[in-house]
Amino acid sequence: MPSTATLHVLHQAPGRDLAAAEEAAAAFLEALGIDLDSESLRQTPRRMAHGYAELFTPRAFDLTTFPNDEDYDELVLVRNVPLRSVCEHHLLPFAGTVHIGYLPGERIIGLSKLARVAEHFACRPQVQERLTKQIAGWLDEHLHPRGVGVVIEAEHSCMTLRGVQSVGSATVTSALLGALRDDPRSRQEFFALAGVHA
Ligand SMILES: Nc1nc2c(ncn2[C@@H]2O[C@H](COP(=O)(O)OP(=O)(O)OP(=O)(O)O)[C@@H](O)[C@H]2O)c(=O)[nH]1
Ligand SMILES: [Zn+2]
Counting the structural domains of the chain, the total is 1
Catalytic residue of the set 120, 134, 156, 189: 156
- Residue 128 catalytic? yes
158 annotated as a binding-site residue: yes
Q: Which ligand is nearest to the CA of 90?
A: 2
> In the beta sheet, which residues pair with residue 179?
none
Strand, coil or helix: what is 131? Answer: helix
Cα 186 from Cα 66, distance rounded (Å): 23
Is residue 45 within 8 Å of residue 36, measured between CB atoms?
yes
**CA distances (Å), origin 80, targets 1, 59, 61:** 33, 20, 20
Of all protein residues, whose CA lies closest to atom 32 belonging to ligand 1? 127
Mutating to test ligand 1, I would choose from 158, 167, 172 the residue with most ligand atoms within 8 A of its C-beta, which is 158
Question: Is position 139 within any domain?
Answer: yes
123 annotated as a binding-site residue: no
Question: Is position 43 within any domain?
Answer: no
What pLDDT, on the 0 to 100 scale, is given for residue 115? Answer: 98
Residue 94 CA to ligand 1 centre (angstroms): 12
Q: At 151, which helix (H) or strand (E)?
A: strand 147-156
Residue 89 CA to ligand 2 centre (angstroms): 5
What pLDDT, on the 0 to 100 scale, is given for residue 198? Answer: 53
Question: Is position 55 within any domain?
Answer: no
Q: At 173, which helix (H) or strand (E)?
A: strand 171-178
Question: Is position 136 within any domain?
Answer: yes
Question: Is position 15 within any domain?
Answer: no
- The finding on whether 24 has its CB within 6 A of some atom of ligand 1 is no
Global confidence as pTM: 0.94
E strands in 68-117: 76-87, 93-103, 107-109
Question: Is position 151 within any domain?
Answer: yes
The CA angle 58-116-44, to the nearest 5 degrees, is: 30
120 annotated as a binding-site residue: no
pLDDT tens-digit profile, the chain (198 residues): 456 888 888 877 778 999 999 999 999 999 999 999 999 999 999 999 999 999 999 999 999 999 999 999 999 999 999 999 999 999 999 999 999 999 999 999 999 999 999 999 999 999 999 999 999 999 999 999 999 999 999 999 999 999 999 999 999 999 999 999 999 999 999 999 999 865
Question: Is position 60 within any domain?
Answer: no
What pLDDT, on the 0 to 100 scale, is given for residue 7? Answer: 83
Is residue 114 within 8 Å of residue 100, measured between CB atoms?
yes
What pLDDT, on the 0 to 100 scale, is given for residue 3? Answer: 67
Is residue 81 within 8 Å of residue 111, measured between CB atoms?
no
Instruction: Quote the domain boundaries for residue 137.
Output: 65-194
Q: What is the CATH number of the domain that holds 163?
A: 3.30.1130.10
Of all protein residues, whose CA lies closest to atom 4 belonging to ligand 1? 127
Portion of the chain with pLDDT greater than 90, in percent: 91
Question: Is position 22 within any domain?
Answer: no
